[in-house]
Structure 1
Amino acid sequence: MTQKRFAHCQRTSAMAVKLAEQNGGDVLRAKIGGLVHDYAKQIPDADFIQAIHDHHLPDDLLHYGNAIWHGIVGVYFIEDELGLHDPAILQAVQEHTTGSPEMPLLAQIIYMADFIEPGRSFPGVEKARAITAKNLQAGVLFQLSHELTYLVEKQEPIYPLTFTSYNAWVKRISQTTQAKKAE
């Protein structure tokens, strides 16, 4: 892992700890998840392709790339090379590249910590930070929407789970908002 990537992982870990503290999450798991979330980011494509075959993952995964693979497939490298087998941490790492319709709290924390860590400086990051500081789940929906917009504008393929996640989170946030209005 390059020094730049490691520094990003350290910042993500620190942000994950902060989000865990603010949202009643498991601080230790958040810290570890932040540190390992990009462990596989710099693994050669050939190794990912082999892992996709070895672990009998769906063939459509082959049409994407490292941006998706380092989460979904990266967990196998984390298990094999680091000996980390904590299901909650592995799920959070696996889902940090696509989101998921039913992300548990730790996965939401890692997903957002990676997106808003202090080293990030893309258009919309300050808004993402502000939204997430007020409501973690609203931050998740913001990120999903932001990612879809970004990928569409760049005419990049969108992994189907990202669409599914977006639709589920729109519904989830809408139901939460309606429930609060009814109170």
Structure 2
Amino acid sequence: MNRDFLMEETKSQMPTRRWEHTLGVMSSAVKLAKRFGADPDRAELAALLHDYCKYWPIAEQRSEYELAGLEPDLLRYDPQLIHGPLAAEIVNRRYGIKDAEVLDAIRYHTSGREAMTLLDKIVCLADYIEPGRDFPSVDAIREMAEHSLERALVAGFDSTIQFLLNKGKKVYPLTLAARNALIDELNRTNPSDGAAE
């Protein structure tokens, strides 16, 4: 699929500010891919498409999600979670994106999951730390991302979970599972460190 065509198709799905975010996620994903040994082209493609249908009306997202037969449990949580799995489904169908790892990185970029692949981690983290992001712990997470995808992602998930708790909102269980799996991964690679706890 032609990159320029996909850029125009994606840009047409969102307001200018979100397109600028997408460009930031793309550049961050490419940098992370080069730093941690992933394929920069696949990282860029997943980043380009990660928010493909985020600005469709929520009612349309829900309807398309249900029509696609996707995991119904997710619909009991924040509607902001719908666009990841839905985008993976839509870009597969509309544009013939068949790369399962790219589709999974799109699908799980908001929630995370257990046993995240390298590409999952890169796209999820790029979404947190792209240059346009501005929240209290973002600089610390960017600094962690210089050395460890896993530590940076745990910090990102912690920030998200704390935000949801402060707002009195439910936390999607897959996000907790993703965080816990990353903690286990860090503890396996640095068993005497204790810093992952």
Structure 1 runs, 4 residues or longer, greater than 3 Å off? none
Matches of 2:165 and 2:77, distance apart in 1: 15
Question: Among residues 101, 117, 121, which one is paired with 1:108 in the alignment?
Answer: 121
For the 8 Å contact 2:85–2:108, the answer to whether it is kept is yes
Matches of 1:79 and 1:65, distance apart in 2: 24
User: What's the Cα RMSD here?
Assistant: 1.6
Q: 1:98-137 residue pairs with structure 2 within 5 A?
A: 98-137=111-150
For the 8 Å contact 1:39–1:74, the answer to whether it is kept is yes
Q: CA deviation at 1:69?
A: 0.6
2:180 paired with 1:167: yes
Question: Among residues 77, 99, 105, which one is paired with 1:92 in the alignment?
Answer: 105
Q: CA deviation at 1:73?
A: 2.2
Q: CA deviation at 1:179?
A: 6.7
Number of residue pairs aligned between Structure 1 and Structure 2: 181
For the 8 Å contact 1:79–1:85, the answer to whether it is kept is yes
Mind listing any 5+ residue stretches in structure 2 that lack a counterpart?
A: 1-13
User: Structure 2 counterpart of 1:131, which letter?
Assistant: M
Given the two structures, how large is their TM-score scaled by the length of structure 2?
0.86
Given the two structures, how large is their TM-score scaled by the length of structure 1?
0.92
2:68 paired with 1:45: no
Secondary structure class of the residue paired with 2:60: helix
Q: CA deviation at 1:51?
A: 2.5
Question: Among residues 87, 93, 100, which one is paired with 1:74 in the alignment?
Answer: 87
Matches of 1:58 and 1:70, distance apart in 2: 13
List per-residue Cα deviations over 1:116-171 (Å, max 9, x = no partner). 00000100000000011111111111111111111111111111111111121111
List per-residue Cα deviations over 1:56-75 (Å, max 9, x = no partner). 22332222243201112221
Question: Among residues 49, 73, 82, which one is paired with 1:36 in the alignment?
Answer: 49
Matches of 2:79 and 2:51, distance apart in 1: 11
Q: Which residue does the alignment assign to 1:144?
A: 157
User: Structure 2 counterpart of 1:176, which letter?
Assistant: T
Q: CA deviation at 1:46?
A: 2.2
Q: Which residue does the alignment assign to 1:6?
A: 19
More helix by share: 1
List per-residue Cα deviations over 1:51-104 (Å, max 9, x = no partner). 232222233222224320111222112222333222111100111110111110
For the 8 Å contact 2:78–2:170, the answer to whether it is kept is no
Mind listing any 5+ residue stretches in structure 1 that lack a counterpart?
A: none
Matches of 1:33 and 1:96, distance apart in 2: 9
User: Structure 1 counterpart of 2:48, which letter?
Assistant: L
Secondary structure class of the residue paired with 2:97: coil
